[in-house]
Structure 1
Amino acid sequence: MLPELTQERRRELVRMARRRAEDARVSIRNVRRDAQSMIREIQTEGEASEDDCKRASKSLQDLTDAAVGQVSDLLNNKEEQILA
């Protein structure tokens, strides 16, 4: 049997979850930055048209927004579980 969590311990767990969520967001943004630089490199080398690169950048941003939103949703759910 595990004892009930104290309110202080619950707040500490929420802080840890928020910190990990922020780390995940930073990782997502780092991947986006690397992908954007690859897209720019492809465009400057002339391997793809400017329109294709713009579409790829928009698609990349949409994927990034979706991933960050998913992290936020998971964090909200986890906070509710911890505080309940």
Structure 2
Amino acid sequence: MQVNDPMIKENQERMAKTEDALRRELGKIRAGRANASLLNQVMVNYYGAPTPLNQMAQITVPEARVLLVNPYDKSSLKDVEHALLAANLGISPANDGDVIRLVIPQLTEERRKEIAKEVKAKAEEAKVAIRNIRRDIMDALKKSEKDGELTEDDLHDLEDVAQKVTDQSIKNIDAIRAEKEKEILEG
């Protein structure tokens, strides 16, 4: 949706950032399928400096439920293994001296439903954040009208645009949630 008003445009960007944050948050949730983003938060103590795992190793998905971590520097294999254990992912790393394999365990039906509830809760949090942004927009527009910067007609037009932007963002969040729930429930 093309928006011309700078105030609404700024808040539309805030809504997009909320959607991106939800995607990142849901990316951390293990769905019974191998996903390299599961390791995005893993930090390895590499020569005394905390280094993101994805910057010091190639992470591939050779099979649906297997992550393969291939460090660029083979001498760091033990450090990578310790970092994976410390990350508390619920997955035991298998070190064969060359690469580390992480086999994602199959989820039970009960666990899938629990995770789906968690996804739904995170999506609701994101919707609340979107509604708070809309409230900020509406308050700012009313203040502008009160200060004489906007006419009453302009106020109503901009409120309509703000509502459409909000509705689109809520729709996007529902789509993100539905996609993750499908991934989890299909396994």
Place the TM-score, normalised by the shorter chain, in its bin.
Answer: over 0.9
2:133 to 31, 40, 54: 31
1:71 to 164, 173, 178: 173
Higher strand share: 2
Structure 1: segments with no counterpart, 5+ residues: none
Q: Quote the Cα distance in structure 2 between the aligned partners of 1:25 and 1:6.
A: 29
Aligned length: 84
Confirm whether residue 55 of structure 1 aligns to residue 135 of structure 2: no
Higher helix share: 1
Q: What is the TM-score when the length of structure 2 is the normalising length?
A: 0.44
Partner of 1:44: 146
Q: Quote the Cα distance in structure 1 between the aligned partners of 2:121 and 2:156.
A: 33
Larger relative contact order (CA 8 Å, sep ≥ 6): 1
Structure 2: segments with no counterpart, 5+ residues: 1-102
- CA shift, 1:73, in A, is 1.0
Moved runs in structure 1, 4+ residues, more than 4 A? Answer: none
Q: What is the TM-score when the length of structure 1 is the normalising length?
A: 0.95
Q: Quote the Cα distance in structure 1 between the aligned partners of 2:175 and 2:137.
A: 24
Q: Quote the Cα distance in structure 1 between the aligned partners of 2:149 and 2:181.
A: 46
- CA shift, 1:2, in A, is 2.1
Confirm whether residue 13 of structure 1 aligns to residue 115 of structure 2: yes
Q: Quote the Cα distance in structure 2 between the aligned partners of 1:49 and 1:37.
A: 15
**Which one has the largest radius of gyration?**
2
Partner of 1:80: 182
- Name which of structure 1's ranges 42-51 and 22-31 shifts more when overlaid on structure 2: 42-51
- Percent identity over the alignment is 35
Confirm whether residue 3 of structure 1 aligns to residue 105 of structure 2: yes
